[in-house]
Amino acid sequence: AQSVSQHNHHVILSEAASLELGCNYSYGGTVNLFWYVQYPGQHLQLLLKYFSGDPLVKGIKGFEAEFIKSKFSFNLRKPSVQWSDTAEYFCAVSPNTGGFKTIFGAGTRLFVKA
């Protein structure tokens, strides 16, 4: 069965620390990849997406993610986090089969200490 695995459920960092959140998926075909973020009290919103081309994707607020096809991974990174990055982050995968199914990971809660 298709699945998305996020390695860390909770991450605590100090401001200015570097961030890397892991995401691996299980699906052998072509995929579209997403990271969504949910800030406290707010809606889930798109952070960045990958569907083709340069495997290093840049998103909003200084986030980036790298698609490594051989590792079935799409890790999220930010060189220097801020207190305002405190949120829950969700990796999601959509098999590029023309359907509508998107499979989400369980999420990683990030807390950034000021």
Binding site for other proteins (CB under 8 A): 4, 9, 32-34, 36, 42-46, 49-52, 90, 94, 96, 98-107
Nearest distance from residue 7's CB to other proteins, in Å?
A: 14
Q: Among residues 41 and 114, whose Cβ is nearest to other proteins?
A: 41
Q: Distance between CA atoms of 2 and 44, rounded to whole angstroms?
A: 22
Beta bridge partners of 49: 34
Computed on alpha carbons and rounded to an integer, the radius of gyration of the chain in Å comes to 14
Of the pair 81, 92, the CB lying nearest other proteins is at 92
Smallest distance from other proteins to CB 107, Å? 7
Closest distance of CB 10 from other proteins, Å: 11
DSSP string, 14-34: ETT--EEE-EEEE-SS-EEEE
* Cα 56 to Cα 13, 28, 60, 99, distances in angstroms: 24, 20, 14, 25
Q: How far is the CB of 67 from other proteins (least distance, A)?
A: 12
Nearest CB to other proteins, comparing residues 17 and 66? 66
